Structures are given as structure tokens and as C-alpha cells.
Homo-oligomer: A and B are copies of this chain.
């Protein structure tokens, strides 16, 4: 359209169960404008789309109009890259299959693409974060749930149907803890998510009634991964054991992933990373112990280099740049 590419922008939108954040990003990865709106407030997706359009429009005009927008990238739970749809997302009130990319394209008059939030974070990390220059890496998001984005040969792996990379649901301990959301036993997510950390803490408190712990000062109902983290930092033995155990399961899972795609690095992202070496050390130990010698001491285990608030926007915007 005759617009200097260096003056173009991409829009990144991250749709979460509670909030949506978005930003206008320049080609260097600087977020030039950012905003947010409540996802929950709009049980009808059409109302949500109208509100989103209204919220972003002033920023587009500030950027010089829609011809300065190369594309819009969207990260969303259960987002399918191939179809541009969100499909049966348990944490969103919009049910069934929602053609999000098409709806955004129609409202904004700009090309749009969508993928799941963990894939978007992986792309963000590859363009602007710890995975710059890497062609083979795995992003693991340790938050309310456990998500993943897998890059091989420099490309995201979407699989034949767009749903590849559900590593949080791989079974690490057959017959292990029940995941009440999926019905599976012993999946990675039921141990290594924020919820998993809470459940491990409650189990350990119940199983070791004689052991002192700062965690006993809290109502079990209120114990969450942040409280476990706080207690662990204060040197609480039981709280530290929670992260050691979490790292053991995570490390065993990562060993299997390494033997699948032999990544240069595994990048950890999300709330649980705040535990730092309390989580990283046991994770690395059990990953190394469980891989074939041929993979040992080769895979970098890194924390994300992107601010959590920015990663989702940057990753989503990266999809926008690739649109033609």
C-alpha cells in the first residue's frame, strides 16, 4: 500500500479468561501503546468484539490509520492457528467454536491470525527474548495451568489439526494424582501448575502432621503457590520440599520432551518461575538423570527474558508481522 515497512506496526492481543491485554508494537519489538479490557464482562462474543474494536481504534488512528497496521495477532486459550477459531475453551464464557480471527478481520479491516497463548509466548521469546536465534526450543508456561509451545526447524509445531503442544496433559506418573478438569491421572499439569503446587503443599502438610511449617499458619483454603513461595523464601523446609518435588516431576517430563525434539533450550515462563533456583535446580537434576547420555548437559534450561505482561502481547504481535 506504499507505506514504508519500517513505519508499520503490528497489533498483539492476548485474550485471557479474566482480562484481555493488547498493544501496538513496532518492528523493533517496542510496545508503543498498550491497553486492556475485561474479557469476563462480555458473555456474548459479539459484544466483546465491539468493545475490543472501540478500545483499540484510538491507538490505530494514532499510528496513522489501519494502512500502517501490518496485521493483528491474537493469543487465546484453545486457539487454533489453522482455522483462526477458539474451540471449546473451558475458561471462556463463549462456548463451542468461535471464529475469532475472522471477526477481528471483519471489524478492523486488517489481516488477523490466532494461536494459543503458549504458542504466542514461544514466538515472542523467539523474536524478542531468550530464544532469539534459536531454531529448536520448547517453551513451557507454568501458570494456573501448564501450557507449551514447541519450535522445531525454526517453525512452531501446530500438528495436523492445529492443536499440537499440549505437553501439560502428557502423563508423567501413570495412575497418579487426579486432574479434576480432564479426568486424567498423573499429568504434568496436575503437579506443576500453581494449582498443583497448592495440592502438593496440602498433601505434604497432611502426610507429615508432626513437621513444623510456616504453612500451618494459614487456613488450608487460602494456601496458594504464592504463599508456598513466600514460605520457601523464608527457609521453610516443607515449602522448599514442595518446590523440590515439583521440580522432580517437571524434570522427568522435560527429559521425555528432550528425547522427542532435542531442543537447544527449554524456556520456563509464568508464575511458578518466581521460585527461581528452588524450582530450577531439582528440575535440571531430574531432567539430566532421565535423558539418554547423548542428550546430557546439552540442553539449556532458561527462564523467560520477557516481562510476563509483555510476552503475550509481543508473541501475539509477532504472528501479525507474518501475515500477507
Contacts and interface: CB of A to CB of B under 8 A. Distances in A.
Given A88-B294, A136-B159, A257-B260, A164 B152 contact: yes
A184 to B, nearest CB: 7
B153 A153 contact: yes
A256 B170 contact: yes
B292 A182 contact: yes
A197 to B, nearest CB: 20
25 contacts: A88-B294, A134-B160, A136-B159, A136-B160, A150-B261, A152-B152, A152-B155, A153-B158, A157-B261, A157-B262, A158-B262, A165-B261, A165-B262, A166-B259, A166-B260, A166-B292, A166-B295, A167-B260, A170-B255, A171-B252, A172-B174, A173-B174, A174-B252, A182-B292, A257-B260
Contacts of A173: 174
A164 B88 contact: no
A257 B257 CA distance: 9
Given A152-B157, A160-B263, A170-B255, 13 more contacts: A78-B294, A150-B261, A152-B152, A153-B158, A159-B261, A161-B298, A164-B260, A165-B261, A166-B292, A167-B259, A169-B259, A169-B291, A260-B261
A119 B141 CA distance: 30
Contacts of A263: 159-160
A290 interface: yes
A135 interface: yes
A264 interface: yes
A295 B163 contact: yes
- A interface, by DSSP: helix, strand, loop or mixed? loop
A159 B136 CA distance: 6
Interface string A270-308: 000000000000000000001110110010000000000
Given A174-B172, A260-B167, A153 B160 contact: no
A87 interface: yes
Interface of A: 78, 87-88, 134-136, 150, 152-153, 155, 157-167, 169-174, 182, 184, 252, 255-257, 259-264, 290-292, 294-295, 298
A16 B98 CA distance: 51
B292 A169 contact: yes
Contacts of A292: 166, 169, 182, 184
A290 B171 contact: yes
Contacts of A136: 159-160, 164
Contacts of A298: 161
